[in-house]
């Protein structure tokens, strides 16, 4: 009888310690900084690495065209007027020119292919950030903003890869598109992949836009 009375406090102590350990682990995971790549185009790549919390690699002579993260990260353009941020991206790659400055970013703002509803939510949010920041659509006669309409959804489901282009004054251009992603073994599973390309101005707008 005495041994049973002794066991109960021991069980209670173990339970309390176990709960504390689990809580501590959850707190650590929740407090752990999320990876983030922060930059403005034209900045030196090594400066971008220092100001970001990410797995961007060291710049070498052979990897300047594909400086990609090894762990998913949020992307944030830190321009005070035209800045925007994306959801966490599994694929995020930078290009550095011969001077070592970043002039191009390519990413898919997702960690996996997504259903259409979730994909449209991301597209809508990014384009709303552009509008709030003063970005303007260009090449808009053929590359209109991707609006969440029945016609747009039908075009996306038909795998036409709708593309929209935006420009921030004479500083940046963005190409944003969404593509079908299906496999032969699951042809009815609708999944989609968004791609965003951010660059310095390269293309001229069409005069009739």
Place of tokens 């921030």: 168
Tell me how far apart the alpha carbons of residues 180 and 184 are, in angstroms, rounded to a whole number: 13
List, for residues 85-103, the tens digit of each pLDDT value.
999 999 999 999 999 999 9
Domain ranges, ordered by start, for the chain:
1-32, 36-199
What pLDDT is stored for residue 63 in this prediction?
85
Q: What percent of the chain has a predicted confidence (pLDDT) above 70?
A: 82
Mean pLDDT of 56-78: 94
Lookup: tokens for 124: 């809508």
List, for residues 109-168, the tens digit of each pLDDT value.
999 999 999 999 999 999 999 999 999 999 877 889 999 999 999 999 999 999 999 999
Q: Does the model's pTM come out above 0.75?
A: yes
Lookup: tokens for 13: 């102590």
Lookup: tokens for 143: 């590359």
Which segments of 31-171 are extended strands (E)?
36-39, 67-68, 74-77, 84-85, 91-96, 102-108, 136-137, 163-168
What pLDDT is stored for residue 22 in this prediction?
39
Q: Most distant CA pair in the chain: distance in Å?
A: 93
**Which of 202, 209, 198, 206 is CA-nearest to residue 79?**
198
Tell me how far apart the alpha carbons of residues 170 and 157 are, in angstroms, rounded to a whole number: 34
Q: What is the DSSP letter of 203?
A: S
Q: Which residue has the higher pLDDT, 178 or 206?
A: 178
Tell me how far apart the alpha carbons of residues 139 and 166 are, in angstroms, rounded to a whole number: 8
Local confidence band at 26 (pLDDT 50, 70, 90 cut-offs): very low
């Amino acid at each position: 009888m005495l041994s049973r009375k002794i066991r109960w406090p021991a069980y209670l102590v173990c339970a309390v310690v176990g709960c504390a350990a689990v809580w501590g682990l959850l707190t650590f995971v929740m407090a752990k900084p999320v990876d983030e790549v922060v930059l403005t185009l034209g900045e030196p790549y090594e400066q971008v690495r220092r100001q970001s919390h990410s797995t961007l690699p060291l710049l070498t002579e052979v990897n300047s065209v594909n400086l990609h993260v090894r762990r998913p990260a949020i992307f944030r353009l830190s321009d005070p007027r035209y800045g925007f941020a994306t959801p966490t991206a599994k694929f995020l790659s930078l290009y550095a020119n011969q001077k070592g400055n970043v002039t191009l970013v390519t990413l898919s703002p997702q960690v996996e292919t997504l259903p259409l509803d979730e994909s449209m939510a991301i597209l809508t949010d990014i384009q709303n950030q552009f509008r709030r920041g003063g970005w303007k659509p260009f090449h808009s006669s053929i590359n209109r903003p991707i609006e969440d309409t029945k016609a747009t959804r039908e075009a996306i489901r038909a795998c036409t890869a709708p593309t929209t282009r935006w420009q921030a004054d004479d500083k940046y251009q963005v190409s944003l598109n969404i593509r079908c992603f299906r496999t032969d073994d699951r042809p009815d599973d609708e999944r989609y992949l968004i791609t965003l390309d951010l660059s310095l101005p390269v293309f001229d707008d069409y005069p009739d836009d």
